[in-house]
Structure formats: structure tokens, C-alpha cells
Structure 1
Amino acid sequence: MKKIISKKSAVILLVLFCLFLIKCTKNDSPKKDTPVEKITKTEEKKNDLKTRLEREIEGIEKDSDLTKSVSSVDGIVIVLALYKVYASNIKEGKESQNIEEQKLAKTLEKKVISSQIKTFPKLRLIYYKLMKEKLWVNDIEVKIIGSTNRTLQFTAGYFASNKNIQETQSTLHEMLLNLRFKQTQYKWYSGDDEFTYYDIESLKDSEIINETL
């Protein structure tokens, strides 16, 4: 007995057959770049790095004071992020096989170091002022110590508790480290000659920031 295939079934079979052919003939292997495309992409990358280095050198020469419009913690974070960008491009340039890019990277490095030496003390001063204003309402006195603003001192009855000192230090540690403070001091009244302190193992202001931090 012959099986009768309806028109609808025939159409379905035809569609499935076509899909099968398409699948079998489709080239699934990824498209490889031709030698010309590879050379073009390499040249674009080189030009991009060279342009970035030149632009950053020009920018830092034109506007060396990165703190002039900083008035908040967010502003401080933006400046720190900018130094990370500088560091990343300096590293890329120094590792480049292109001599011109190496020279540009070294030029940028010198200018960034000079900028950091001027900028970090100002950033620490700005941070101190923000902290002083914020903590004043909680009866916490804040002082900044040293010619380059490397030490923060906190005074309040709140710091009679070692637990409170430890928690405060833990909360502030990352920002203090990024701003390259060297020490924090905690006193529980202003006339106290003794205080608890934490030494902070931060970079020198002249050291290029690690872009992975």
C-alpha cells in the first residue's frame, strides 16, 4: 500500500532539506585577517599610542595643576584615575618596539612625576579640608601635619575606644593609601601627649602610580 504524502508534508520536507543543505555548505570557520588587514591594524594601534602620548604630553604641559577645580572626594578620585591612565600609557610606550613611542613615553613619565610631586600634597590638603568639615559636626577635630601634608591627626572622645580607632582606620585606609599619606594619629583629647598611630606603606609622590591599583 502506497503512503500518500500531503502537500503540506511535502513543503515541510522541502524546507528541512534546504536547511540541511545550508548547514552543510556554511563555512563555520572564523574569517582570518589577510596580511594587508593585519598590517593595517598594527599601524592603527601604533598611531593610536603615539597620538595618545603626544596628546597627554600636550595636555599636562598646558594645564599642569590638576587640582584647581577639585572640591570633592569625587574630584579627587578623578585625578587619581587620570594618573592611572598616564601610568598605563607610559608602560605601554616604554614596552613598545617603536623608538619614537619609547621617547614619548619617557617624556610623559618625567612630566607626570613632576606633576605628581606638586599635585599629591594639594590633593591631601583638599581631602583634609573635606574631612574636617564633615567630621566637625560629630565633634571630631582633624589636623594635617608636615610640610607635604603626609600625616592626618584625629582627636575626639570617640577615639578612647581602640575598636573605634581600628574601624575608622579600616574605613579610611584605601583613600589614605591612594593619596599617599604616611601616617594617621588618633587622640581622645587635645591635650593628650600620647596617641595611637598607624604607619601607611604608601608610594612616594614621585613614584608613578601602579595602573593595576
Structure 2
Amino acid sequence: MRQQLWEADGSARTIGAGYRMVEFVSVAFARNANIKQIHTEIYENLLLLRFTRAQYKWFEQASEYSYYTLEPPKDTDLVKWESRGRFRLLR
């Protein structure tokens, strides 16, 4: 993801406790439709990586940004991944 953002003059970084938040910065995120499209495309990967929040800024110092709260399984949970970011807890 970071490589693709770099090619599009964007960046990504992980932040917060346990690095559970990911922040994407690109001028493309000035447009809400682009945020929605990108988030939909990478949603499953964000869950697989167990991020709890993804935020999108159109420039680094922006005080306003869009974000999505994610609900991945706990690291200790044994899960079976299904399509579209769904998972089932195995007991």
C-alpha cells in the first residue's frame, strides 16, 4: 500500500497505541468519493492487519479528516476469514 501511495504522491503511517491506527495522506483524499472507493478496496486488508481505525487526510497537516472505525478480531482470537472482511470465531 505504501508503495502505491508513493507512486500517487501519497503516504501512509501507523500511529497510536499498538500501532492499531493507519493514516493515509494523499491529495486524492480531498474528494470524499475517492476516500470511499479506496477504503472499500482495502477494507479487507485493513481487517487482516487488525487495524482498528483508518483515517484519510488530503494533506499532512490537515486538522480535518475522514476516518472509519474498524472492528477486527482480537489478536488472541482464532478466526476463519470469509469474503468481504467477514470472519467467524472458531472455538
RMSD, matched Cα: 1.5
Match of 1:161 among 31, 35, 41: 31
Rounded to whole Å, the distance in 2 between the matches of 1:198 and 1:165 is: 10
- Between Structure 1 and Structure 2, the one with more strand by share is 2
Segments of 4+ moved more than 4 angstroms? none
1:206 aligns with 2:66: no
Shift of the 190–177 alpha-carbon distance from structure 1 to 2, 3 Å rule, reads same
| RCO comparison, higher one (Cα < 8 Å, 6+) | 2
Match of 1:49 in 2: none
Unpaired runs of 5+ residues, structure 2, are none
CA contact (8 A) 2:22 2:54 kept: yes
Question: Counterpart of 2:76 in structure 1: which amino acid?
Answer: S
Match of 1:193 among 51, 60, 63: 63
Q: Deviations over 1:90-119 (max 9, x none)?
A: xxxxxxxxxxxxxxxxxxxxxxxxxxxxxx
Q: Is 1:150–2:20 an aligned residue pair? A: yes
SS in 2 for 1:158: helix
Q: TM-score, normalised by structure 1?
A: 0.37
Greater share of helix: 1
1:102 corresponds to: none
How far, CA to CA, are the matches of 1:210 and 1:149 in structure 2? 23
1:176 aligns with: 46
Where 2:5 maps in the other structure, the secondary structure is helix
State the Cα distance separating 1:210 from its structure 2 match. Answer: 2.9
Q: Which residue of 2 aligns with 1:139?
A: 9
- The number of aligned residues is 83
Which structure has the greater CA radius of gyration?
Answer: 1
Q: TM-score, normalised by structure 2?
A: 0.81
Percent identity over the alignment is 35
**1:12 aligned partner:** none
Q: For structure 1, list consecutive stretches of 5 or more residues without a partner in the other structure.
A: 1-130
Residue 178 of structure 1 deviates from its aligned partner by: 1.9
Shift of 1:201: 1.3
Aligned residue for 2:36, secondary structure, equals: helix
Tell me how far apart the structure 2 counterparts of residues 204 and 138 of structure 1 sit (CA, whole Å).
32
Q: CA deviation at 1:180?
A: 1.3
> Could you give the per-residue CA deviations for residues 141-184 of structure 1, whole angstroms, max 9, x where no partner exists?
11111242211101111000000000000000011112211010
